[in-house]
Amino acid sequence: MFFGFSLEDTFDHFLKTESSQFFVSVAIRYLALGMVAIFEPIYLYLYFGRSISHVLLFWAAFSGIFALTVVFGGRIMARLGLKKTMLLSNFFFFGYYICLFFIEDFFLLAPMAIILRAIGATLFWPAFHTDFIRFSKTSRRAEHVGKMSAVCLTAGIISPVVGGFILAGLGYAALFTVVLVTLFASTFPLFLSKERHEVYTDSYKQAWKRIWKNKNESLALASLGIESGIDAFIWPIFIFILGISYKEMGGISTFALFVSALFAFYMGKVTAKKNRFKLLNIGSILLSFSWAIKFFVTNTMSAFLAQNFYRISKTTALIPFRTILYNKAASREDHADEFIVYREIIINISRFFFLMFLAGLFFIIDQVNLSFIIAIIASAGFSFLAKPRLFSFKKLRLKK
């Protein structure tokens, strides 16, 4: 007790608003996943006998199944409610990590792990994004996006270091156990507020047709899927091949996340006041430049500097990107959930084809950082979201 206030009273007061409950849940989830995220591709890389092509085929299969099943995730979300669907997803992530741990004992656990992770993602991400859209007001959405980004990054500040120490000292079994316990804890704050139900109306065919109706959004989301795929699945393996230790990887990730978390709060406020389309264009240019720098990384120090610049550039691009995208979804009102499902389809189907292409390429050559050239192009593709229309044949006719 301190001046009439207990820690419990303060915590209860903080969790009264739905936004606070959401952000606490996100923080715990990213704390859990941050402990294993950078090491997961390396774990698979070692399991597949240091074959990056096999690792990419693993993640390509996950992305393809996710894209094909996410429509059913929208329907389950509508039936169970957003929070219950997110809770249910954790059981599949639990099964995924169990499969990963025992994958060396039974080879069929590899495809089982892919399926379980895909189902978990199918349940979690549409519900997560829809829930965020529903409680965040349009007038303050940029600030909320900034806060969410900062919360995710802040939660990730200590998690790579913690994960690195657990991995170095106790191995993957202990790491997976800690991740699972923390992951389940992340859903509890969500149930402090009332359950929210959606009415998902798209048929399977209608959901996929949206890809061709929204050309700019589709190209921007495809670019996001490709760029984030290189960052999540290839960059960790690349720095591992350079001989950077688990502890050094954790340290590099932690410091870069700390810098970008501070910057995210600032970018959220700037995006709320300034022209977010111009900010997105600036961010995408910086992000492309950061991947050009990563191409020349050769040691721990250069990886440290490149990753810090990358995180700042990604935050500069991603906060206006997400704000624009969430506003587009919110403007559809009752059909926001259909837009979110479309978002997941295009991100993952583009990532599927891209990773399949890279897997084939790396069967022939083994220069991993060649993929960074594609990341440079994909980063520039974020700017498609800032354009009002991709092709305007009407304007061409008028000019004639």
Instruction: Give dist(CA 119, CA 124) in Å, integer.
Output: 9
Instruction: Kindly state the average pLDDT of the residues 17-36.
Output: 78
The per-residue pLDDT for 139 is 66
In this predicted model, what pLDDT tens digit does every residue of 112-157 receive, in sequence order? 999 999 999 999 988 888 888 877 766 667 777 877 777 777 776 7
The per-residue pLDDT for 106 is 85
Instruction: Give dist(CA 21, CA 133) in Å, integer.
Output: 14
What pTM value is reported for the model? 0.85
| Domains with residue ranges and CATH for the chain | 17-191+198-399 (1.20.1250.20)
286-290 long-range contacts (CB < 8 A, ≥24 apart) are 286/312, 286/313, 286/316, 286/317, 287/227, 287/313, 287/314, 287/316, 287/317, 287/379, 287/382, 288/376, 288/377, 288/379, 288/380, 289/313, 290/314, 290/379
Q: Is 183 exposed, middle or buried (0-12, 13-18, 19+ CB in 10 A)?
A: buried
Residue 173: is its pLDDT beyond 80?
Answer: no
The per-residue pLDDT for 359 is 95
Contact yes or no for 340/130 (Cβ under 8 A): yes
Instruction: Kindly state the average pLDDT of the residues 267-293.
Output: 89
Q: What's CA 309's distance to the chain center, in Å?
A: 19
The per-residue pLDDT for 390 is 42
Of the candidates 49, 124, 128, which has an alpha carbon nearest to the alpha carbon of residue 94?
124
Grouping H, G, I as helix, E, B as strand and the rest as coil, residue 137 is coil
